[in-house]
Structure 1
Amino acid sequence: MFALTLRAPFAPSKPSGFDIGPASRVLVASVGAVMSLLCLIAIGRALAGLTPELPHLRNVAIAIHVVAVLPAIPLGAYVLLARKGDARHKQLGKIWLALMLLTAFSAIFITSGGGYGPIHVFIPLTIFSAWRSVATARRGNIPAHKRQLVFTYVTGLVFPGLAAFLLPGRLMNVMLFG
């Protein structure tokens, strides 16, 4: 006998769930919340005129970089923390990876004193990790896909974000601390 089952369009083929593990959830939620809050404070200070002049923003590459990375921080956290497998997860994941790639490619054109610094090591890591994230998902290797996306979040946003806020003279440091 044949059984006929109807499925709603874009419905996940497997049950979705919160599946990055408790330690990763705590890391992503904590870092995403703190970095998003720091960004909001820094932007608020800049908009209120509480920062010195920001010549960084005259550089088109830096402006593109900032415009791409600011929504990538909370969106990446949301995609990693929310239910997986449905159409919304896939669409938001694609948007997040596009923002991450725009962030990485714009960083190629950001140099201090004409050369690349240690922070630029995150550019190829982010690009490679984004590619691996898509490749593992397409192959159906979801455990590897999850690992790659957490790796992308940490190496593409967390470590460079810490540098952006903590190193004197960097745009986010100037906006946050004056």
Structure 2
Amino acid sequence: MNHDLPDSTGHCILSHGFESGPEATKVTALAEVATRLGWSHERPDYTDLDAKSGVSRVGDVPARLQRLIALAASAAARGPVVLAGSSLGAYVSALASLHVPVKGLFLMVPPTSMGPMPALDAADVPTSVVHAWHDELIPAAEVIAWAGARSASLLLVNDGHRLNDHVAESAAAFEALLRRI
């Protein structure tokens, strides 16, 4: 889904997590914030890559990363880009920021490691992280340490990995990031 506005403030690429899709609740909430603030946005669909069995238990992560890098490079040629994502979408957003110029990162429940892939790393740009105290997949302590080492904004909520009870708070944190950029 692409919502280009000719005179937009910039462009947001909103990446869904594994076993999710571009219409997922969290990325939809972020898209609504972007639109309201005058940012164009797109929500890439990675479901074809996530369905690849035999690659890894979370789909074809290198191909997902390459797809995002290509989209971000194209968008960066037209103006400021912010990458945002949830879980695996956050992981590839952070890594993509090392390959293309971005103005900011918004990472929800980001994995700090992903099997044989590189550890979570990101460009030195304004970064906001939302994580759940009771995330059953990614220990909060790892994300706290990662965010602290980068002096990233960090919102910790009383929730699990899907952040089901904190979509509005996540959207508000995304809005705060876009307003800072």
| TM-score range normalised by the length of the shorter chain | under 0.3
Considering only CA atoms, is the larger Rg found in Structure 1 or Structure 2? 1
Normalised by the length of structure 1, the TM-score is: 0.27
Query: Which structure features the higher share of strand residues?
Result: 2
Normalised by the length of structure 2, the TM-score is: 0.27
If asked which structure has higher relative contact order (CA below 8 Å, sep 6+), I would say 1
